Amino acid sequence: MAEVGVAKFFKPFNISIAFKTSNSVKRNLVKPLDKPDPLSKSGVYSLHCADCPTIYAGQSERKISTRVQEHLGLVNKFKATDIVETKSAFANHLLSTGHNFSYPNNVAVVHDCQKGKKLDLLEKLEITRAKNSPVLPWVNNVFNFEPGLIFNNIL
């Protein structure tokens, strides 16, 4: 019992030592809640092609998983056809190249955020980062954004 020796040592100096146990009833009975699935939230996400380094950055005010399933739905809908132009630039990449995508392995939640201007700004930031990357090819073709002073300083 080293604690008792410490208390005795400080007693002549009029210093009281308090001890706290880490083994409590609460610690042993209460289980932490499971963390929610990040794909069940809204925010900015990136999709990564399974066969090449191509990425797509997007946002969803709904569940990210719902938006990703829409991209994949277009791929599945047009896979057996000659159509390679859809509403989704990422689906277009998969259809035109015949590349694969693994859900949820190739999905990354970049920013957990609610709808609004902040969500738009974070999406622009991620697209700008991808666009300026010398290594990663990006497929966001519907977004024409020239970064301002803020983005230049962040990147």
pLDDT digits (tens, 9 = 90+) for 37-74: 899 999 999 999 999 998 999 999 999 999 999 999 99
Q: Is 31 exposed, middle or buried (0-12, 13-18, 19+ CB in 10 A)?
A: exposed
Q: Name, in order, each residue with C-beta under 8 angstroms of 122's C-beta and a sequence gap of 6 or more.
A: 43, 44, 59, 110, 111, 113
Radius of gyration in angstroms for the set of CA atoms belonging to the chain, rounded to a whole number: 26
d(CA 55, CA 49): 6
Q: Name, in order, each residue with C-beta under 8 angstroms of 127's C-beta and a sequence gap of 6 or more.
A: 57, 138, 140, 143, 145
pLDDT band (50, 70, 90) for residue 132: confident
What tokens does 16 get? Answer: 């009281």
d(CA 84, CA 67): 19
The domains found in the chain, sorted by start residue, are 41-154 (3.40.1440.10)
CA-to-CA dists, residue 107 to 7, 24, 67, 72, 117, angstroms: 55, 40, 11, 12, 23
Token pair 């896979």 is found at 79
pLDDT, residue 1, reads: 46
Average pLDDT over residues 116-121: 87
Q: Name, in order, each residue with C-beta under 8 angstroms of 3's C-beta and a sequence gap of 6 or more.
A: 17, 19
What pLDDT, in 10s, does the model give residues 15-37?
A: 888 877 778 777 777 777 777 88
* DSSP H helix total and E strand total for the chain: 6, 3
